[in-house]
Structure 1
């Protein structure tokens, strides 16, 4: 149970860090001043609008960079991570690292890029950005904050030794008894426990909580309750439940939906069955509400950006309409130059086109061979393994059934050799159930959720065919490599997409995983039908895979 909630806590701990923004002297921009006032009044949408206007009208590059920095912070808080990264990279374009007055905004941008990258699981990029933030900061306090953020990234990455070295280096120069000391102590103690679950972390975690309570640091209390709940989850479930409830209470007081979700996730795992269901219902309602709000915010930010760009385009069009015609001689020379360029470009294009056609022909042959190898692996090899598995673990398996399965594989093999599509018309829900039954045994429990005929009736046959092969590949890997005793596959329609989630309690993926042929083939199949696959690489926590693909 302890390992199951570590990811949630790590995510919270990272974002509980102080985020220093580029708050420097006013650059004499009325839109910027108004945006800051609105942001202080917690009117984020209006503040974003005026920061956008400030960025589009200011002639001072630092003011423009600061405006984009603020917009990124607003987007990040609203859950629009990709939008925040776009604003941050735009902000960097207006900054000159050689200018001292730009260094404050540079360090803030790189810190925010590190935080967003870590939130997306891009830990190496996050560490690189945070190194840049440390490089450009001139204030020791912010330097310690960036180092703490860097240690948190190492912790999320699972590099506990590196994280602990940074925590200790900061803790040794931090005054005892303050908020920052309590945060460092809690983070370091918790990381020591993650690195060695036998480490007696209770004393340090409780002392950090006591300091935070004395200082009325409610955000810090929230983090401490999460740490303590995880620490006790494996040894004292009743204590873990008490701290999870305390975290949920204070998260509601802080109006932090993300922390409420984290606390509810712990309560679901720690509570008895009847109460766990109640917390599960609360979790779903809150999560749905949060996603709706964040989607609305993303749309609002996109609309503001669109209106701003449209205004710029309209102004440019008016300027172009008012521009005088160029001198006739200049135009003739321009036409001559364009003609020469076109002549040269056409010659080069024809030569390159010939080379490209040769290369494409070679690639088609290579692709055909790879596709044939993939079909043999997915259809024949995995199919034979499935039948072997059924023979090993099924007590009531008659000869006729085995013959029918082998005959089906023979037909599929023949179609592969003749380069025909494999299109077996039958109830897809029943087909998946039979596939699951082939891998069930006394040692392996396997369950499907959402495998309903009504769902599959909406799904395109090609998508179903690829998903069948992917599911078979996952189950073969589970049976052969993962040492799992339980596996669950969920199917769900979300708008026009089909979402499949796979999880088991096996050894999981190593953090330095290299994609083998099977996993690469699986990813290629999903990409071929317009979907995408994500997986969580973390040893000893079981496999976690999510596939999102269009229904049609």
Structure 2
């Protein structure tokens, strides 16, 4: 995927110090998730400081970096929010210079990338068209045109994609790296192959030639698979299988299992087995929600056979002990006790495995529900908003559905348990900060997170999400305080906000929080009354 870079001219956004340059590199060229987290926190604080000093252009620069960091972490909606915040600052600026135009162009392009990731292809095209319309430098316009062409490919608008690729081909050959030229030739040839263009294979081979020169494993695999698809479309299974095997050899040598699985999946379609081809076709077209349930069934099936195997092994063990009982009574008694101990340990471990599977399944289902429901609702909202006769009540209802679906995705997104968990917790809590809500954390750095199991970390993270989401939806609070403390291995988190409060009627969110804590033998209590603050205490 192609993105617009940042200007290296320090005077454009004000003088940069070394810290700013270093943290910018952490976002633009991260080596780990923790790099993105550090960069995000730095520019989040920098943005707030610049807004206080009325440095609007500097704040826009920081918002762009924040948005890029969040997209790379997979937090697409949060990334979109910060990009839109930057656009709003631009809209309220009285200037209309080249710097603001460059910022607006880059933000439109970034929003196009985000919506492409979200499969909002029509909205993605809209942003790319806006960016192309105002881009000054052809180098920037060329990048955006190629991004737009990639969306045309997804939408099977091959003629439009070809026109875009050809419009920037000469510029790319003269000014861009071999890697980018190779990608352009390959995508051009692939699009042309779908409409039987006579130059399709020639361009695919050019892309392959450049990729061999730069020795890009992923690029070579893509080129070979595109050529295999070219030959398959023309019923030349022998050549298709030959180039597919070349891709498979590269994938195996790279040690990347994703590459290998992708190539093997394509190779399945080349076999002259109608049932295999039918299976692959159905598997590729099945909707995302059904795929989740299929994965869930497969997991349950695996657990069934694993438990059956355990039961069979235990039965065999019991039979052996029964046959020896008369001769070895003392030994048998010891073995029975040992077996009981092992079974208890296995059951305890199995309980933990099942709990982990529950969270994995929640995450998968949440993502699929979000992708299936939220994106469709967003499209409907966009269409209704552009209509002359709009039912405002219906729009409000759709927006409510969209927000709730998006929250499901966020509340079950992946957690980096191997990195700095204290930073993860703080990033989570600070993400709920707004101009109206101040979130304060105390003593979280004093907790020995390294001594806490991954399951407990996951549950604490989710429970804090539930509390903060409940605050955002219901409390109308302006201040939220979370105090962390630890006594030996016991961790206590005291939550308090100054919201409107309510009689304690446990919503799905609070009930979920209570159930999660109970699953690890912890406790959570709630204290609130109408027109008084809301309190909660978590102990694990």
Larger RCO (CA under 8 A, 6+ residues apart): 1
